[in-house]
Structure 1
Amino acid sequence: MRNEKLKESYSEALKNKQQMYKEGIEKFISLECKDEANLEKIKLNIYSIFSSVFDISYKKVYGGKNEFNEESYNKLYEVYMEFFDKIPSNWKENYAKAEKHGFTTECIIEEIKLTTANEIKDMFIKHYNEQKIIG
């Protein structure tokens, strides 16, 4: 079923990226690059957040049933995409405030959060569309 394949492929992609960031954190810590490790931790955290909300979205739409239909598949897309508006909204506000006050470090952190969220969003859209085409 398309929905199960989407869940499997997308979840796997998220896990792979999380593992990559975990390895990056370990590497930077071993090199005593604390700032770089902290930036990788931020990215890992964003991946964890959106991984969790994907699971929540999936459960909300399918409710333990894996019955597939086009309407539910599209509903999953809508429900999950809402999180890409809701969650980063505070980060956008924080970025604007930090920029206004010249807080460079805070700007960098908020920019990383926003960029990472967009990367995850693009990844989901790619997996969603691939499964839609494969059918």
Structure 2
Amino acid sequence: MIIIEELRKDYLEELTTLMTNFKNNATTLSNENRNDEAILENIKINICKIFSTVFKSCVNKTSENIDLKNLFNNYIDFFDKLPKSWKEKLIKDEEFGMIDEYYKEKVKLETANEIKQIFINCFNKYYKEN
């Protein structure tokens, strides 16, 4: 369980740094009256918060008998489940020429992929196959 706690700490620190960067970008963009772009940065923050909450829930459900790989599998499944509706909406938005909505969904998906890669990188620091 100690390794899971170390992973939790590292990963959540990475997400916090990412959210801070997005928040700083949103503030800068807003100050420059680039409000549409600031909205996209705020969407990124919300996606980080969603995956942070899901991760914390996965860790809390992990007992001492469940290994790191099971935690990985449980959490990584959410990177398919949660973005599913975003992908469907992206396709419809593109089909109907709803450009603003299309870019919002695209940003959600790109951010989810970025978060997923951060998690995989953190996980690989702690997981060694036997």
TM-score relative to the length of structure 1: 0.89
> Is 1:102 paired with 2:102?
no
**What does the per-residue CA deviation read over 1:37-84, in whole Å, with 9 as the maximum and x for residues that have no partner?**
10100111101110110001111113xxxx4x6x42111111101111
Runs of 4+ aligned structure 1 residues displaced above 4 Å come to: none
> Is 1:4 paired with 2:12?
no
CA distance in 2, matches of 1:3, 1:106: 37
Q: CA deviation at 1:88?
A: 0.1
> Is 1:115 paired with 2:110?
yes
Q: CA deviation at 1:6?
A: 0.5
Uncovered stretches (5+) of structure 1, i.e. residues with no partner: none
> Is 1:35 paired with 2:36?
yes
TM-score relative to the length of structure 2: 0.92
Q: Which has the higher helix share?
A: 1
> Is 1:89 paired with 2:84?
yes
Aligned-residue RMSD, C-alpha: 1.2
Q: For residue 127 of structure 2, what is the amino acid of its counterpart?
A: K
SS in 1 for 2:33: coil
> Is 1:79 paired with 2:80?
no
Uncovered stretches (5+) of structure 2, i.e. residues with no partner: none
